Structure 1
Amino acid sequence: MRAVIGVTDNRWAEFLRARPHLTEANFWLPSGKEAFKALQPGEPFLFKTHWPENRLVGAGFYSGFDIFNVREAWELFGEGNGVASMDELAQSIARYRKAPPDVGASIGCVLLRDLFFLPPEETLAAPSDFAKNIVRFKGYDLLGAGAHVDLMFETMLRRAEIRINDETGAPTTVPGPVFGRDRLMKARIGQQAFKGLVLTSYERRCAITGNHIQPTLEAAHIRPVSLAGENRLDNGLLLRSDVHTLFDLGYLSVNTRHELQVSPRLRQDWGNGQEFYERAGRVINVPQVRANRPDRGAIEWHLDTIFLR
């Protein structure tokens, strides 16, 4: 299991510390050309303030990374961007880029869930091997790091009611109200991260109609969270809002070959639906990354449980 320490803008950390109701955040990178591949979903990301403070002040768990423009980042995460408004977000990014504020500018977004911050009097010193010239991130292997780093991470994670199993490296939990085993499933991501990652995985187009008017698009769960589904990319579809409703009600589905299935009930109940009957049997749009395509089990569940035969 790995972890990353990221150098945070001190104002970003203080803003989020003052808002404990926010459980997801966007640790944004001012350039839309940067990439972040250091973690897998569910692994910890710790926040370190700039020198001379140089303190570990909080952490979250990694949901994923993507490129959004400033407007999209604000619509998805709002104050979880560490600022009070979209204009302030654009201005913060502009200061780093030394360019005029632009809500259409692309930024890198490290998406985090289950945030927590230590009280100011309990923050921890950064590890001694975190050099002053590191301006972004440093990764650590939680099983192979030195004694000081091991102790530092264990202390930090215990305060979030988590410990690392020394034999396997698998995350386990200790009793407490903040974190549970389900929150450490590697495939699990935050709700807002789910929306954003589904949006980009489907290239901002409805999987069924191809519609790309973004305000009408919604991230749909194939198996709803309320019925044991998870916030996972392979449990998601990007759908136009009315298509989303029809999918949730069982008038539409897809099979394991990703072909659109249209219930005869759509015409029987509403005397309409020609747009969808014309598309019946066609392969829907799916993500280019195979691992992000609709999960077979989720599809079979929707066909067996929700779809109106």
Structure 2
Amino acid sequence: MNFWRPSGQGFGALGEGELFLFKLHAPHHFIVGGGFFARAVRLPLTLAWDAFREANGVPDQDVMRRRIAHYRRTPLEPHANPEITCLLLAEPFFFPREQWIPVPESFKSNIVVGKGYATDEADGRALFDAVTERLQAQVDHALEVLPATEAAVSARFGAPRTVRPRLGQGAFRALVTEAYARRCAVTGEKTLPVLEAAHVQPYAQGGPHAVENGLLLRSDLHRLYDQGYVTVDPDDRRLIVSPRIREEFDNGRHYYALEGQALAPPERGFRPVSRERLLFHAEQVYRG
């Protein structure tokens, strides 16, 4: 999910894997669900919409643009592409009406941007226990228990611990785009509409939605990478172009010019692609 803010300002209230809870607007002072914080990034409207679609909480991109203009109190042109702050949430959950949690008395009615709680404080611990008790009921009926949810439930009777939540496709795309500074990891191309987040080890073959399993690639290179016509050497991290492009299509001069191009590393604070994932692609996907 993308819990977005229209301002484009930074957000440092939470660390990866910490709980982010949803409170209804007044007069309904209840907590009705939440998710696990992954990261805050600034994204242009078009990318936020393409990555999350209706998980932005609106039915279409035009409505989202109008919402941004409303909250900013500034008119936007019909094709404006403003940057917004995106709080990426993973493993979201919602409670049935009978399990809604009344907000603590310390959450004053004039608070409009949220409030943080710590589990070593009475209100924070009571809230954490109420949330994890309800999560336990969901876990008991789930076919699969996700990692951050499992860690939260297991901490009900001990010290809470945070675990990296499992990302969805939208968060994967947003984070890989941010990790590579909106540039193709091979060519350096910066035209955002043609940049795509590629899985190194394909998702269908066990590869996770994780930055260390992702590369930001120009769309044509992404297709070639997915189909095994190019790969990256796991050791020297340089591009390898398959001779099959020439053999099958009698073309490919532009791609052969990229042979040996060094893979750009991600920005500081992001994990680089693991050798294990690169090796999987080179051995299991690449058509040399």
Give me the TM-score of the superposition, normalised by structure 2.
Answer: 0.83
- Seq. identity, %: 36
Give 1:116 deviation, angstroms. 2.6
Deviations 1:159-181 (A, max 9, x none): 2337xxxxxxxxxx943226514
CA distance in 1, matches of 2:114, 2:167: 21
Residues 44 and 81, structure 2, Cα contact 8 Å, conserved in 1: yes
CA distance in 2, matches of 1:270, 1:187: 42
- Counting only pairs closer than 5 Å after superposition, residues 122-137 of structure 1 correspond to structure 2 as 122-137=99-114
Residues 259 and 282, structure 1, Cα contact 8 Å, conserved in 2: yes
State the partner residue of 2:36.
61
Give 1:305 deviation, angstroms. 2.1
CA distance in 2, matches of 1:265, 1:211: 25
Residues 202 and 286, structure 1, Cα contact 8 Å, conserved in 2: yes
Give 1:269 deviation, angstroms. 3.2
CA distance in 1, matches of 2:211, 2:129: 30
Residues 13 and 116, structure 2, Cα contact 8 Å, conserved in 1: no
What is the Cα-based RMSD across aligned positions, in Å? 2.5
Give 1:294 deviation, angstroms. 1.6
Q: Which ranges in structure 1 are unaligned for 5 or more consecutive residues?
A: 1-24, 163-172
Residues 112 and 190, structure 1, Cα contact 8 Å, conserved in 2: no
- Counting only pairs closer than 5 Å after superposition, residues 220-239 of structure 1 correspond to structure 2 as 220-239=198-217
Question: CA 1:72/1:118 → structure 2, altered by over 3 Å: closer, same or farther?
Answer: same
Question: CA 1:254/1:141 → structure 2, altered by over 3 Å: closer, same or farther?
Answer: farther
Question: CA 1:301/1:116 → structure 2, altered by over 3 Å: closer, same or farther?
Answer: same
3-state SS, counterpart of residue 116 of structure 2? strand
Residues 33 and 107, structure 1, Cα contact 8 Å, conserved in 2: yes
Residues 147 and 164, structure 2, Cα contact 8 Å, conserved in 1: no
CA distance in 2, matches of 1:31, 1:89: 13
3-state SS, counterpart of residue 264 of structure 2? coil
3-state SS, counterpart of residue 161 of structure 1? helix
More strand by share: 1
The one-letter amino acid of 2:90's match is R
CA distance in 1, matches of 2:13, 2:260: 37
Question: CA 1:291/1:109 → structure 2, altered by over 3 Å: closer, same or farther?
Answer: closer
The one-letter amino acid of 1:180's match is V
3-state SS, counterpart of residue 275 of structure 1? helix
Residues 31 and 108, structure 1, Cα contact 8 Å, conserved in 2: yes
Which residue of 112, 116, 135 corresponds with 1:139? 116
Residues 198 and 219, structure 1, Cα contact 8 Å, conserved in 2: yes
Question: CA 1:181/1:58 → structure 2, altered by over 3 Å: closer, same or farther?
Answer: closer
State the partner residue of 1:249.
227
- Tell me if 1:88 matches 2:66: no
Q: Which ranges in structure 2 are unaligned for 5 or more consecutive residues?
A: 150-162
Question: CA 1:220/1:308 → structure 2, altered by over 3 Å: closer, same or farther?
Answer: same
Give 1:300 deviation, angstroms. 1.9
- Tell me if 1:297 matches 2:276: yes
State the partner residue of 2:237.
258
Residues 28 and 109, structure 1, Cα contact 8 Å, conserved in 2: yes
CA distance in 2, matches of 1:188, 1:209: 29
- Tell me if 1:97 matches 2:72: yes
CA distance in 1, matches of 2:63, 2:22: 21
State the partner residue of 2:142.
177
CA distance in 2, matches of 1:199, 1:189: 14
Give me the TM-score of the superposition, normalised by structure 1.
Answer: 0.78
Deviations 1:108-129 (A, max 9, x none): 1111233332233431111233
The one-letter amino acid of 1:114's match is E
Deviations 1:53-108 (A, max 9, x none): 32111112223221112232222222212122222222222222111135422111
Which residue of 14, 39, 42 corresponds with 1:38? 14
CA distance in 2, matches of 1:291, 1:57: 32
Give 1:277 deviation, angstroms. 1.9
